[in-house]
Amino acid sequence: MTTLESKDVLSVELHAHSALSYDGRDPVELLLEQAAAVGLDALAVTDHDEIDASIEAAEKAADYGLVGIVGMEVTSAVGHVLAFGIEERVESGLPFDETLDRIRDQGGIAVVPHPFQKSRHGVAAHITDEQLASADAIEVYNSRLFTGRSNRQAEKFAVRNGLPMTAGSDAHISEMVGQAVTEVGADERSAAAILDGIADGRTSVVGKRTPWRISLRQFGGGAKRRALRALDVLR
């Protein structure tokens, strides 16, 4: 994978879940500790249809020597969309185009994660190529895919359509933060500069696949937490 040639390249984790996600495990402090330990410059906590933990992480990031980026993983009517640079929760269940509009109305950018993986709410099967190409960027490397086929499809689509490319660990446990990193050419060390760099396509992706045993453990842990929360609702 290519790398950027710039003294102002920042290593950014753009896809990580905290305990606020229905399938996440750890508090934001552990995610921040891991991001700092592996030498990242910035972290975005992207919980499913929640934003409070991401705001908390962004506020605490400086204490760990990191830039915090507020974000979330929005469940649109056709699948998942990552929202960055927002201030308020984006409603779930909206059409794809409206989801992108709501993100941009807040001054944010919309990045489509794992678009070609149907089993993980990828949107590509449910929208046109033109709609997918209307996103601000495409996640072309997701470390939690069991094969590389969907990543390769995403990269080919991004290249064909001239879209900025990102990577994400899709970490649901803190140990996996930093598995897949987006290198961003930024004018300064700030969330705004990082998002500008992504939107302008000043990115490269680096990373390695999450070991399948850990992926299974993350999946199993998420299923257990979902079941426990469902029981709590029934009580």
Give the range of the structural domain holding residue 92, as residue numbers without chain letter. 8-234
Tell me the pTM.
Answer: 0.88
Write the pLDDT tens digit of every residue in 50-91.
999 999 999 999 999 999 999 999 999 999 999 999 999 999
In this prediction, residue 217 carries a pLDDT of 60
What total of structural domains would you count in the chain?
A: 1
Give 228's pLDDT tier (boundaries 50, 70, 90): very low
In this prediction, residue 148 carries a pLDDT of 85
From CA 158, how far away is CA 172, in angstroms rounded? 26
Q: What is the dihedral of CA 72, 62, 12, 51, to 10 degrees?
A: 0
Residue 52 domain-assigned (yes or no): yes
Residue 220 domain-assigned (yes or no): yes
Q: What angle do CA 83, 86, 92 make, to 5 degrees?
A: 55
Of 66-70, 107-111, 152-156, 204-208, the one with minimum mean pLDDT is 204-208
The DSSP call for residue 222 is H
Complete DSSP assignment for 102-138: HHHHTT-EEEE-STT-GGGT-SGGGS-HHHHTTSSEE
Residue 81 domain-assigned (yes or no): yes
The DSSP call for residue 218 is H
From CA 196, how far away is CA 210, in angstroms rounded? 28
Write the pLDDT tens digit of every residue in 117-134.
988 899 999 999 999 999
Do residues 150 and 118 lie in contact, with contact meaning Cβ atoms separated by under 8 Å? no
Residue 19 domain-assigned (yes or no): yes
Residue 123 domain-assigned (yes or no): yes
Tokens 């994400």 correspond to: 168
From CA 41, how far away is CA 35, in angstroms rounded? 8
Report which residue type is found at 215.
S
From CA 228, how far away is CA 80, in angstroms rounded? 23
Residue 99 domain-assigned (yes or no): yes
In this prediction, residue 144 carries a pLDDT of 87
Q: What is the dihedral of CA 108, 92, 31, 181, to 10 degrees?
A: -50
Residue 103 domain-assigned (yes or no): yes
> The domain that contains 86 carries what CATH number?
3.20.20.140
- Region 179-193: mean pLDDT is 97
Residue 62 domain-assigned (yes or no): yes
